[in-house]
Copies of this chain bind each other. A is one copy, B any other.
């Protein structure tokens, strides 16, 4: 196996090529709709969900290069959620990855529609993949439930609900499990579906990795380097957001990060296949600087 960073680039480049192709094929009218969808899809980012999907397929010996539709669907859903979360009626963020957020660039109405279009596109890609059989239908349903009112939407709804209210460990876990962890677990669970495997270990691993991802995100907000992270830091506490720092303190959050990193590593033992890359991915997320 290649060193971790190199292998990450292999998965990333495979995904970026598929994404560029998708963006070139999109020729929706009005042109502004296509432009606003592309703007957010091509804004960069770590692409952790598609990379995780490819890596989990690779671990299970499923040729990942022929599963780009599912990988694109994952990123479309993630991107739609960022566009809608940034809206003034939600988290009201003017910037995303160092550029104006979608609604600052294209206006609120267009941003809502770009999100709606990306969610529909995600499902069209998934439905196209369903023609390949039972495992793909199972995988698609996993993603639809992770994204909807049982998953990500519920997490964002709860996050809005707790704004300015007394909230502690239980509320925080509810929000993060749904808003973040479900969509990070989804690619791993989907890979298990496509490999015709049981999904339990995949779900436990993905969920722990997702929780870890959010905790380290919250930690970066207090201890990160603005230039490396690429966004304004200290914003969470200024806005009194419900974060791991607020609920557990920075030290408590570090311990909880270790807990979830351990849980993810343990779950990998039951995942089967070649889990070397996934193990290193856990360490990478635990120690991330951006």
Contact = CB atoms under 8 A, between A and B. Distances in A.
Contacts of A149: 26, 28, 33-34, 37, 117, 120-121
A101 B160 CA distance: 19
Given A30-B158, A117-B153, A130-B137, 7 more contacts: A28-B149, A29-B158, A33-B154, A84-B112, A117-B149, A123-B126, A127-B141
A239 interface: no
B32 A161 contact: yes
Task: Give the interface residue-count category, chain A.
Answer: 35 or more
Given A89-B107, A89-B108, A124-B148, A30 B140 contact: no
A42 interface: no
Given A144-B124, A148-B124, A84 B154 contact: no
A82 B161 CA distance: 23
Interface of A: 26, 28-30, 32-34, 37, 80, 84, 87, 89-90, 107-110, 112-113, 115-117, 119-121, 123-124, 126-128, 130-131, 134, 137, 140-141, 144-145, 147-150, 153-154, 156-158, 160-161, 174
